[in-house]
């Protein structure tokens, strides 16, 4: 099993920045994909960004140029640096790890972008 603990959410004004962190523990295998999804009220959960163990990244079009995903393989931690935040970025952000045939989810951290 894999446990994921997210941190870094909160309230920020439009145009501001936040950094999310997610630490993974348990049975972590090499070659996994770590990433972030989000779910806004009344909407489906969607991919924000993910990063492979080799450093390849993928972003949703809506966050390209504003968000950066990174990881520290030694710490089994994935980060999401969010800049130029917009009200439409308001959502619960979930950490996700995919390895072999399994997927694991964190409990989520709320990001609210509002003035």
The pLDDT value given to residue 31: 85
Over the stretch 63-81, which tens digit does the pLDDT of each residue have? 999 999 999 999 999 999 9
Over the stretch 5-32, which tens digit does the pLDDT of each residue have? 999 999 999 999 999 999 999 988 888 9
> pLDDT-derived band of residue 109, with 50, 70 and 90 as boundaries?
very high
The pLDDT value given to residue 43: 96
What is the rounded average pLDDT of the residues 97-114? 95
What is residue 88's three-state secondary structure? Answer: helix
Q: What's the CA gap between 46 and 109, in Å, rounded? A: 15
The CA distances from residue 61 to 28, 49, 67, 86, 101, in Å, are 29, 10, 10, 14, 26
Q: What's the CA gap between 85 and 101, in Å, rounded? A: 34
């Amino acid at each position: 099993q894999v446990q994921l603990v997210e941190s870094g959410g909160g309230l920020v004004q439009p145009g501001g920045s936040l950094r999310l962190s997610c630490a993974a523990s348990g049975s972590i295998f090499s070659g996994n994909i770590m990433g972030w999804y989000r779910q806004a009220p009344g909407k489906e959960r969607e991919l924000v960004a993910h990063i492979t163990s080799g450093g390849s990244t993928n972003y949703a079009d809506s966050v390209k140029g504003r968000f950066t995903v990174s990881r520290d393989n030694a710490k089994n931690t994935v980060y999401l640096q969010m800049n130029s935040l917009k009200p439409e970025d308001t959502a619960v952000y979930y950490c996700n790890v995919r390895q072999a045939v399994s997927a694991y989810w964190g409990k989520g951290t709320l990001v609210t972008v509002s003035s």
